[in-house]
Amino acid sequence: MEKVTTFLKHSWEEVQHNVTWPKFNDLQGSSSLVLIASLIFALMVGLIDYLFENGLNLFYQSF
């Protein structure tokens, strides 16, 4: 148990003193970029799904 508490103490000291945290503006910009990229990706996947669904329906109706 002593090893675990020592590890946690050292980890907390590392986070407090040695980690360089990004500025809020940097985080906001990165989050916006991820949001926009996710929306574009979702729209592309939705469009491909729509095209495949309609294409397969046309193909099956032709028989």
Domain residue limits at 32: 22-63
In this prediction, residue 63 carries a pLDDT of 83
**Residue 45 lies inside a defined structural domain of this protein:** yes
**Residue 43 lies inside a defined structural domain of this protein:** yes
Q: Phi and psi at residue 58, in whole multiples of 5°?
A: -65, -40
H-helix segments, the chain: 2-17, 24-61
In this prediction, residue 40 carries a pLDDT of 98
Q: How many residues does the chain have?
A: 63
In this prediction, residue 32 carries a pLDDT of 97
**Angstrom distance (rounded) from CA 43 to CA 39:** 6
In this prediction, residue 31 carries a pLDDT of 97
**Would the pTM of this model clear 0.95, i.e. be above it?**
no
Query: Which tens digits make up the pLDDT trace of 12-57?
Result: 999 999 999 899 999 999 999 999 999 999 999 999 999 999 999 9
In this prediction, residue 2 carries a pLDDT of 92
**Residue 8 lies inside a defined structural domain of this protein:** no
**Residue 41 lies inside a defined structural domain of this protein:** yes
The number of folded domains in the chain is 1
